[in-house]
């Protein structure tokens, strides 16, 4: 492809759930590729440390307190980002949580918490981003990139993950609908469905005997490497993916086979 590049110079990226796990890694990769990166999460101390780390390697990053399940917090975060960097045009809706357990034992309040972050939080994040992109002329520039982080559990069955799996299936389908809604507005919406990588959310589980048995069931009997999502994330966040919208990409090292 002529001119193919993951160079994100001139772009402003927002990563939600950037205080740890996938989000922190995504932020580092986006900054290393030239984007100014807004780091959104509730744990501001961790965001500030990451922003300092990125700045220490020559990048630009802004720590922004952001509760994705609260509309006022999302709007305030975008206001701050626009004041500092301009309108985010590479938006990574990554914030997520899980409360695991048999459906018969999960409190409805916990079910709603998962949905509030994983589904409503994604909706609020990408809707506000799309509104601002449209106001900033995305239709003429064709520069809007939204990446929703789903999961292989959106399409596979894992015991004890009713709320989490439902939320991830919902955002995957929502991404397709939003891609159609915004297809003439210069905004691409795509989803990635990662397999299992060791993160803050799951590290304790994979250290247990049951967790090790879980890994042994994967065709390659291993967790994915932490860099497994880098290339796809940068591709979908960049101009290189101009013709890709409404798609969902499974990146799982064959774990769902």
- Could you tell me the fold of the domain covering 12-194+229-250? Rossmann fold (3.40.50)
Catalytic (active-site) positions: 164
For residue 208, what are the contacts with CB-CB under 8 A and spacing of at least 6? none
**The pair of three-digit structure tokens given for residue 17, joined into one six-digit string:** 């759930």
As a whole number of angstroms, the distance between CA 207 and CA 198 comes to 10
Question: 199-230: string of b/e by CB count within 10 Å (b at 16+)?
Answer: bebbeeebeeeebeebeeebeeeebbeeebbb
Tokens describing residue 241? 């993916």
pLDDT per residue rounded down to tens, the chain (257 residues): 445 678 999 999 999 999 999 999 999 999 999 999 999 999 999 999 999 999 999 999 999 999 999 999 999 999 999 999 999 999 999 999 999 889 999 999 999 999 999 999 999 999 999 999 999 999 999 999 999 999 999 999 988 899 999 999 999 999 999 999 999 999 999 999 999 998 777 788 899 998 999 999 999 999 999 899 999 999 999 999 999 999 999 999 999 99
Cα dihedral 201, 205, 207, 213 sign: negative
**Residue position matching structure tokens 């159609």:** 180
Are 53 and 79 contacting, i.e. CB atoms less than 8 angstroms apart? no
Q: Which residues does 59 contact at the CB level (< 8 Å), separation at least 6?
A: 31, 32, 37
Contact 122, 174 (CB under 8 A): yes
Q: Can you read off the two tokens belonging to residue 75?
A: 């709007």
Ranges of each domain in the chain: 12-194+229-250, 199-228
**For 7, what's the count of Cα atoms within 13 Å in the CB-facing half-sphere?**
5
Nearest to 74 by CA among 110, 122, 142, 32: 122
């Amino acid at each position: 492809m002529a001119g193919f590049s993951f160079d994100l110079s001139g772009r402003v990226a927002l990563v939600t759930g950037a205080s740890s796990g996938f989000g922190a890694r995504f932020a580092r990769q986006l900054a290393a590729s030239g984007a100014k990166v807004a780091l959104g999460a509730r744990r501001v101390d961790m965001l500030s440390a990451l922003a300092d780390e990125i700045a220490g390697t020559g990048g630009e990053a802004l720590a922004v307190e952001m509760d994705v399940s609260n509309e006022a917090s999302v709007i305030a975060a975008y206001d701050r980002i626009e004041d500092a960097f301009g309108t985010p045009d590479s938006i990574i809706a990554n914030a997520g949580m899980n409360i695991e357990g048999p459906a018969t034992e999960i409190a409805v309040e916990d079910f709603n918490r998962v949905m509030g972050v994983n589904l409503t939080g994604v909706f609020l994040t990408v809707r506000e981003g799309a509104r601002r992109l449209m106001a900033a002329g995305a239709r003429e520039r064709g520069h809007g990139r939204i990446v929703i982080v789903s999961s292989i559990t959106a399409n596979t069955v894992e015991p004890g993950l009713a709320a989490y799996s439902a939320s991830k299936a919902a955002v995957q389908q929502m991404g397709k609908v939003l891609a159609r809604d915004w297809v003439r507005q210069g905004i691409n919406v795509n989803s990635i469905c990662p397999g299992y990588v060791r993160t803050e959310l799951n590290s304790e589980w994979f250290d247990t005997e049951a967790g090790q048995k879980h890994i042994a069931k994967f065709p390659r009997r291993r967790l994915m490497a932490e860099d497994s999502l880098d290339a796809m994330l940068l591709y979908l966040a960049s101009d290189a993916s101009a013709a890709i919208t409404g798609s969902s990409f499974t990146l799982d090292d064959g774990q769902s086979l």
